[in-house]
Amino acid sequence: MIYKIISKAEFKRFIDALVRSNSSFGPRMVDTDSRGEAVYQFQPVSSVDEIAFDYTRTASSAKHFFLPFRQELSRFHFHDDDWDQKVSYEADPVVLFGLRACDISALNILDDVLLNGHFPSAYYLAKRKNTFVIGMDHLPLPDCFCKSMNHHTVPTGFNLFCSDIGDEYYLAINSSKAFNFLREFETRDPQYDENCRLAERRKLISSSFRTEIDVTGLPAILDIEFDSPVWKKWGDKCLSCGTCAMVCPTCYCYSVEESFEPDLQSSSRQKRLYSCNLVDFAAVAGGHNFRPKNGDRLKYRYYHQHRGFAENANQQICVGCNRCGKACLAGINPKDVINDLRLEKDTCTTSVSSSPARS
């Protein structure tokens, strides 16, 4: 990593040059919600003026650049009784500007899932390798809880990360590509004062969180509270719509579907992002459903995010952005569900007698 200081004006010139000559995406205001708040999304940008530098959080995450909602995995062309199968891993180079630390953390988690292990995904790898990621720090929103998940800072996974230290940005340069691009622009090495301002900025971010979730011991609690009434309570509210998984930066479950083209000369195998909240997620042939109730499926999502993965990869996969909570029409969010579970546990431990003293 190389650190540099760049003035905000020069940084804008740099971003402008970058987005003008590359296929680029950045945060833009696309609408206002029912409360009159701005709705942001990552959208194509062709000049720096189109970017909302002061944006809060995009409604859906940057995951879709790497895991599109629908993606063709392969195409079959038929001739006589035979076929050719075409598999393409090509991905166009893209610049992605303005990701928050937790958004980049989410990409690192997806890397873990999709690139490590026995069967790395070449489709994902191609997109990840060809995407130039520029991160930007920000002050947390009232409902952000990424600090609880330890994702309010991010050490890797980006090409460039900028921290706002007043009139300037403190740049963390994490790839030779980023370093080369920046050569043409005026930057300088950070001095004592700027290092202090970076430290202050980080402290400010860290102390600004208003939402905290206690996730200590959560994997075990989830195990112990498997049959907790909490799941029915929230399950009864859940609409099984799958929106939470769609907007989540780390949800990656999918289904595969195949279909013939109308001419019957070819067919396409497509991957579609799915959600474990959808009713048929665990249904097998013959009609049996391993998770028939809304509560079973809701529980499973929390289970996967906070326990299953914790056991497999030694980390929870929720980064604490609360996109799911914000998008849920039923008002379900991780903070309330997890607090409820904890409460279950706490009330039961306080209602029994304290542990026996050693004699």
Partner 1 sequence: MNTDMGYKCTVTNIVRLTRQEKLFQIRIIDPVERALFRFRPGQFLMLELPGYGEVPISISSSSSNHEFLELCIRKAGSVTSALFNAGEGTRVAIRGPFGSSFPMDEMAGHNVLLIAGGLGIAPLRAPLFWINEHRNRFLDVSLLYGAKDPSQLLFTWQFNEWDMISHIGLHTIVEQGTEEWTGKTGMITELFNDIAIDPATTYAIVCGPPVMFKFVCGYLDRLGIPMNRMFVSLERRMHCGMGKCCRCMVGSTFTCIDGPVFDYWSVMNLKEAI
Ligand X SMILES: Cc1cc2nc3c(=O)[nH]c(=O)nc-3n(C[C@H](O)[C@H](O)[C@H](O)COP(=O)(O)OP(=O)(O)OC[C@H]3O[C@@H](n4cnc5c(N)ncnc54)[C@H](O)[C@@H]3O)c2cc1C
Q: Provide, rounded to whole angstroms, the least separation between the CB of residue 258 and ligand X.
A: 4
Residue 223 within binding range of ligand X, rule CB under 6 A: no
Q: Which is nearer to ligand X, 167 or 258 (CB)?
A: 258
DSSP H or E segment with residue 24: strand 24-32
Please say whether the beta carbons of 128 and 111 come within 8 A: yes
Task: State which of positions 304-333 bind partner 1 (CB under 8 A).
Answer: 304, 307-312
How far is Cα 232 from Cα 268, in angstroms, rounded to an integer?
Answer: 39
Query: Which residues lie below 8 Å from residue 131, measured CB to CB, with a gap of 6+?
Result: 65, 66, 91, 93, 94, 95, 96
How far is Cα 358 from Cα 141, in angstroms, rounded to an integer?
Answer: 48
Please say whether the beta carbons of 107 and 155 come within 8 A: no
Q: Provide, rounded to whole angstroms, the least separation between the CB of residue 301 and ligand SF4.
A: 7
Residue 257 within binding range of ligand X, rule CB under 6 A: yes
Task: State which of positions 77-106 bind partner 1 (CB under 8 A).
Answer: 78, 81-83, 85, 87
Q: Which is nearer to ligand SF4, 169 or 234 (CB)?
A: 234
Footprint on this chain of ligand SF4 (rule: CB under 6 A) = 238-244, 247-250, 277, 298, 305, 318-324, 327-330, 332, 334
Diameter over CA atoms, the chain: 84
Describe the crossing of helices 8-21 and 176-183 by its angle, rounded to 10 degrees: 110
Count the site residues for partner 1 by CB under 8 A: 50
Alpha carbon 117 to chain centroid, angstroms: 20
> Which of partner 1, ligand SF4, ligand X, none does 349 bind, CB closer than 5 to 8 A by kind?
none
Residue 108 within binding range of partner 1, rule CB under 8 A: no
Per CB under 8 A, residues contacting partner 1 are 73-74, 76, 78, 81-83, 85, 87, 113-114, 117-119, 121-123, 223, 226, 252-260, 267, 269, 274, 276, 281-286, 290-291, 296, 300, 303-304, 307-312
